[in-house]
A and B are shown apart, each in its own frame.
Chain A
Amino acid sequence: KAGVTQTPRYLIKTRGQQVTLSCSPISGHRSVSWYQQTPGQGLQFLFEYFSETQRNKGNFPGRFSGRQFSNSRSEMNVSTLELGDSALYLCASSLEGYNSPLHFGNGTRLTVT
């Protein structure tokens, strides 16, 4: 079974721009979560989707948004990029999100200049 696939692997953007990251979950998984990983703050929860509905949201500004499609694929968008948004963005999928383990992709490395 293919794992969680995130595209692109690397992105370089300029402050003020917006960016969209993509995630394809493991086949059959209906829950997708997003995490931000930085050296200073570690891994922080962004949001979780199940059947196209956001069930939980972390403590991030409204510039961070996401969505899930009917095939469980997910995207996250960051608008008006700031230097502090530079991070590794990780997507994780699970069967249904609560009683099933999370499987992470290898992430998208976003650099904001």
Chain B
Amino acid sequence: QQQVKQSPQSLIVQKGGIPIINCAYENTAFDYFPWYQQFPGKGPALLIAIRPDVSEKKEGRFTISFNKSAKQFSLHIMDSQPGDSATYFCAARSGYALNFGKGTSLLVTP
């Protein structure tokens, strides 16, 4: 079964908007939560990651918010650009394996 649930499946925002992608998990043994960005024909690339003892992390225009008690985390993309149009995956680590959400296809219109 899917251990990490991601929503929405797709998202359209205008340039400059702030798309928000949400993920939820059940396994409290997960100890590392990365986000990956994937363009067509390419492998996923690590964007930003957070550990459960931190509630928020910012890197450039990307911010992760983490709510340990609710077992939820989300990605915010500030001042989104057309070049951010891609598929985004959240993930949670268990041992040496990453459990991925099913992905969110983001389209940023000019």
Contacts and interface: CB of A to CB of B under 8 A. Distances in A.
Q: Tell me whether chain A's interface is mostly helix, strand or loop, or mixed.
A: strand
A88 to B, nearest CB: 9
Given A56-B96, A106-B41, A42 B46 contact: no
Interface residues of B, number: 21
B98 to A, nearest CB: 6
Interface string B61-99: 000000000000000000000000000010100011111
B60 interface: no
B101 to A, nearest CB: 7
B97 A33 contact: yes
Interface in B20-40: 34, 36
Interface residues of A, number: 24
Contacts of B95: 55-56
A44 B99 CA distance: 7
Given A33-B96, A45-B97, A4 B46 contact: no
Nearest to B43: A104
A66 interface: no
B46 A90 contact: no
